[in-house]
Structure 1
Amino acid sequence: MKNRTIINPWTWQDQLGYAQAVEIRHGTHTLYCAGQAAMTAEGMPIDADMGGQIKLCFDNLEEVLTEAGYAMRNIVRLNFYTTSIEQFFASYGEVIERMQATGCLASSTLTEVKALAFPQLAVEIEATAVR
């Protein structure tokens, strides 16, 4: 994206695969995605480990983006909500792999929450994309 500037005053975030800030100059379209969790197409939560849930969250996010005419590389903001930061970081390789494979470099926040919409859910990913 020509109108995107990554702002990283430091380098430590590079190994975690995110940016401190992303500036978009004169963006024409913005897509605000609802949190995507490990839900089937029928709206049922799956009972899987953190890595499996992260994978399905990204699959669902990519489907929403594609339906709207966007791609993972259009994401400028990712928020991660998890019921266990420890388990999330144990499976963080799934996050890095997916982001690198799709050219996604976004600003990001990770928050531990008491619970998500269903007891089986351990992670939810919320995104903002521009083009």
Structure 2
Amino acid sequence: MTEGVQAHGQAPLCSPNKPSPRQTEDFSQKNRHAAEIPKRRFRKKPARCGFTPDTTLSAGLCFLLDCEQRDEEAQAMKRTPVNPWPWSLKLGYNQGEILQAANRHLICAGQSAIDAEGNPQHPGDMRGQLQLALDNVEAVLNAAGMGLANVTKLTIFATDVDAAMQHFDLLGIRFGRLGAAPPMTLLGVTRLAILPLMIEIEATAAD
């Protein structure tokens, strides 16, 4: 028993009784098998970083490098437009988009012409309200480390749809320069939560 234990750098058991030869043999075989497990595990599947790990430390390093490589590969989100009809492209949006390798998803509350203190701005001015609503959407995106290029869906609510569409060039200016055309829905509503407001924008985004 003492011989089998000392081979692994451990102190003898406190029991004064000498174990049988069968017990010593079983203990040695179990410890020999446990010592071989890490080598077998690492040799079956070499790390992608190029190291040939022979120790737990080098294997851990390879694991970390492998995770970093996978993270870098996953960072690039791919967007594929889906347009069975081309007419919506003239209005600046896709009918749909396929998102691949998206890591984070952001859901923005409806943004309208409200200043930083929560006060409505530009009463009766649809263009001014749309401009400020877009500014607020972008502010939320920036706070999450994103931008307008990350927007995946827009939903716009307007109390006057015809008046809102007359100023949609603002959307083209903001998104067009980024080469972005996220799917969009425009809905007419009787009123918004705060009466002076005429337009509100909901956005979802991903990166």
TM class, shorter-length: over 0.9
Once the two structures are TM-superposed, the CA of residue 2 in structure 1 deviates from its matched residue by: 4.6
The equivalent residue for 1:123 is: 199
Structure 1, 103-112 or 92-101: larger mean CA deviation: 92-101
Structure 1 residue 26 displacement after superposition = 2.9
Looking at structure 2, the residues matched to 111 and 102 of structure 1 have their Cα atoms a distance apart, in angstroms, of: 25
1:12 aligns with: 87
Equivalent residues of 2:77, 2:99 under 8 A apart: no
Which has the larger strand fraction? 1
1:27 to partner: Cα distance: 1.3
For 2:69, the equivalent position in structure 1 comes to: none
Greater fraction of residues in helix: 2
How do 1:38-49 and structure 2 match up within 5 A? 38-46=113-121, 47-49=123-125
Read off the aligned partner of 1:50 and give its amino acid letter: M
Alignment of 1:15-30 (within 5 A): 15-30=90-105
Structure 1 unaligned spans of 5+: none
Supply the distance in 1 between the matched residues of 2:134 and 2:178 (Cα, whole angstroms): 11
Rg larger for: 2
Q: Give the match for residue 56 of structure 1.
A: 132
Aligned position for 1:100: 176
- Report how far residue 104 of structure 1 moved: 2.8
Q: Give the stretch that moved more between structures: 13-22 or 99-108.
A: 99-108
Preserved contact between residue 33 and residue 126 of structure 1 (Cα < 8 Å): yes
List runs of 5+ in structure 2 lacking aligned partners: 1-75
1:113 aligns with: 189
Aligned to 2:134, the other structure's residue is in SS state helix
Q: Which one of 153, 161, 164 corresponds to residue 88 of structure 1? A: 164
Q: Could you tell me how far apart the structure 1 residues matched to 2:168 and 2:100 are?
A: 30
Inter-partner Cα distance in structure 2 for 1:74 and 1:60: 15
2: CA distance between counterparts of 1:103 and 1:60?
A: 20
TM-score (norm 1): 0.94
- Matched residues, number: 131
In angstroms, what is the RMSD of aligned CA positions?
1.2
Deviation of the 1:3 alpha carbon: 1.4
Alignment correspondent of 2:8: none
**Percent identity between the two aligned chains:** 37
Q: Is the 8 A contact 2:77 2:101 kept in 1?
A: no
